[in-house]
Each structure stands twice: as structure tokens, then as C-alpha cells.
Amino acid sequence: MGKPENIKVNNAFDLSVTAKNIISISCLEDIQQLRQLDSGPRLVLGSATNVILDEYFDGTVIHVLMHKITQGDNGVVSVGAGLPWHELINYCLTQDLYGIENLTLIPGLVGAAPVQNIGAYGVEVSSVIHSVTCYNFATQEIETLSNVACMFAYRDSVFKSKNYMILSVQFHFQKVFQPDLSYPSLVQFLADHHLAHDEVSPRVLSQSIQAIRESKLPWPEDIPNVGSIFKNPIIETDSIPADFLEGHRWLVADGQTKLSAARLIELVLTGIEIPPTLDFYKKHSLVLINRGGAVFSEVTELLRAIQQQVHLLHGIQLLVEPEIIES
């Protein structure tokens, strides 16, 4: 079967991608379309800010477009999966709902947030998620999973199994502003701008996070990228020398240390050939950018080369952050 060039799949990395079929879910009644699908491959896709797609998907791409926000009497806020994340941030700032200021300017849609349990500057979205309403592909029913049932972990959740399609996310935001100002780069930013911790308002915190992110991370619509290309590895503290990656490591719980993937990349790049269509963003070496015309194989081969070199020289396994979806 030939590849239908007319069904283009937009993606944040701006690779040329097409699909066999595309379905849009704008309301619950549209779920019926899913029950009529054959057993072929399927892919639930938002704004594709955390995936790297091969040139052709021989199956059905599903977009959830629902974006309504509803506040319940119990204090739970239900948000449609198709709402852009930055719009939810703005909504919360105007409604005196707190807890996600540190997640300002993360690209993507609300429905993508629980999948990889998005986190930034010391806060993970799972800390404010009450439950997630989703379509179960196995049972063909709509289900609501509690926070515990979502099995949240670092950049992980039950939704990575692809058994579910998220329709809406229910949040239980804080009614009293209790900011997390502990992240090192945030501490430095506040100090540089002479902002005392007890004087930081929700909007000032959000604006501060935005300024930090904009100083080193490009917006995908301006420069095609999918954010951090590798996860920061977490290893046993006693497995590495005390001075290894000094200044680029952080102690975490249970005798473990988080290492800077950006720094590990910098240490090996001199021995790796980067295709002219790709580059690492000048302000942040953890962000791979498409300079124009990049193809899937170039991306995956480069990532594989970096992983091999880091493991060879330092014995550390780097894991790719975005999901790689092959044909």
C-alpha cells in the first residue's frame, strides 16, 4: 500500500510525517469511532512535544480536542485533555488556584501531562492530580483512575502502557499559596533579581519560571524541538567518585544521586559527528533542535551514538526522554 501523503501529522520536531488514518475526539460521543477501529496500530497524539515520529505511521492517529474547564463543588477542577498546558497555567493564576506555577511554559496539552508525569523546578504534576478520566482500549469503556491507580513515578505513569487515552484530568489545586522555591536555578534567579522568598507571589513565581525557561529553552513553534532529549540519570551515590560531575549532580532520596544529562552530553560531543540538519541548542545542550530537513534515522542514530559514548567513557546509561515511535 502506498503512503498517503495527504494525511500529514504535525509534530513539534517538525519531521515530515504522514499517517494512514486520523480521528479527532471533540466530545464523548466521538468515542464511538474508536469502538469501530480495526486491530491495527493506533497512536494517541497531542501536540507531539514529547515524541519523535518515523516518516509514516501505518495506523490511526487519534487527537483529543476536548478543552473545557469545569470547577466542581468539591474543589476538584476538571480539564479537557486538549487544552494547551499554558492556558491552564493562566487560568489558575486568575482563579487563585495554586500548585503548578513551577510548571509554567512546559509545551504540550493537558492530556500529555499525566503520561510522563511532567515535572520542572522541583514540582511534578502528580502532586496536584486528583484523578484521570480516560478511555480503556481493552474494555472499550470510559474509566476514571485515582491518583494512586495512575502509578506515577519519575517521568512515568500507567499511561505509558498505551492501554488508555486520556480524556480529562481532574486537579485538586492548593487554595493557599505554598510555593516550592528550592530548585537551585530558581534560588539563583530570585537572588539575582533581589526577590525575597516571602515576597514571591504566584504570578511572580510563574513569571520567574518563564524567564528561566526562555533563557535556555526554545519554544517548539520557533525552533523545532521536543525538550530535554535525555533523562537525567539517577544512580547509586556510592557507585561514582565523590568528585565526578561536581557542580552538575544533586543528591536525591535513598542514597541516590541525579546526574546532569546535559553535562554528560557536553563531555562526549567532541567525538561525535552531528548531521548538518541537527544541532544542540546554544543555550542548553540537553535540547536537540531540527535546523531544517532532519529525518528520523539521523535523529535516532545521533542519540544512539551519544548513549554509546557516555556508557563507554563513564559507564552510565542515558535514557531518551521523548518517546521514539518507529514505523
Tell me the β-bridge partners of 133. Answer: 144, 168
Distances (CA, A) of 108 to 12, 113, 136, 198, 219: 9, 8, 22, 31, 11
238 located within any domain: yes
> What pLDDT does 3 receive?
46
> What pLDDT does 6 receive?
61
Q: How far apart are CA 140 and CA 33, in angstroms?
A: 11
Q: How far apart are CA 284 and CA 131, in angstroms?
A: 34
Q: What's the number of domains the chain is made of?
A: 1
The domain containing residue 293 runs over which residues? 225-325
306 located within any domain: yes
97 located within any domain: no
203 located within any domain: no
Which residues, including other chains, have CB under 8 Å from residue 217's CB and lie 6 or more apart? 105, 227, 281, 283, 284, 287
Under DSSP, the state recorded for 148 is: G
Q: How far apart are CA 200 and CA 102, in angstroms?
A: 12
SS3 104: coil
The residues annotated as belonging to the active site are 155, 228, 321
* Sequence letter at residue 312: L
Tell me the β-bridge partners of 143. Answer: 134
Nearest one of 262, 234, 235 to 247, comparing CA atoms: 262
Residue 13 grid coordinates:
520536531
273 located within any domain: yes
CA atoms within 13 A on the CB side of 276: 0
Q: What is the DSSP string of 194-254?
A: T--GGG--HHHHHHHHHHHHHHH---TTTS-EEEESBPPPEEEGGGS-TTTTTTSEEEETT
75 located within any domain: no
Buried b / exposed e over 82-114, threshold 16 CB at 10 Å, is bbebbebbeebbeeebbbbbbbbbbbbbbbbbb
Q: How far apart are CA 50 and CA 225, in angstroms?
A: 9
> What pLDDT does 15 receive?
96
Q: What CATH number should be reported for the domain holding residue 231? A: 3.90.78.10
Q: How far apart are CA 312 and CA 327, in angstroms?
A: 29
Q: Indicate the burial class of 23 (C-beta count within 10 angstroms; 0-12, 13-18, 19 or more).
A: middle
Predicted TM-score of the model (pTM): 0.85
Nearest one of 73, 53, 59 to 21, comparing CA atoms: 59
308 located within any domain: yes
Under DSSP, the state recorded for 161 is: G
> What pLDDT does 2 receive?
45
Nearest one of 238, 239, 243, 192 to 215, comparing CA atoms: 192
Per-residue pLDDT for the chain (327 aa), expressed as one digit of tens each?
444 446 899 999 999 999 999 999 999 999 999 988 877 899 999 999 999 999 999 999 999 999 999 999 889 999 999 999 999 999 999 999 999 999 999 999 999 999 999 999 999 999 999 999 999 999 999 999 999 999 999 889 999 999 999 999 999 999 999 999 999 899 999 999 999 999 999 999 999 999 999 998 899 999 999 999 999 999 999 999 999 999 999 898 889 999 999 999 999 999 899 999 999 999 999 999 999 999 999 999 999 999 999 999 999 999 999 999 998
H-state helical runs in the chain: 32-35, 85-95, 184-192, 202-216, 261-268, 296-314
140 located within any domain: no
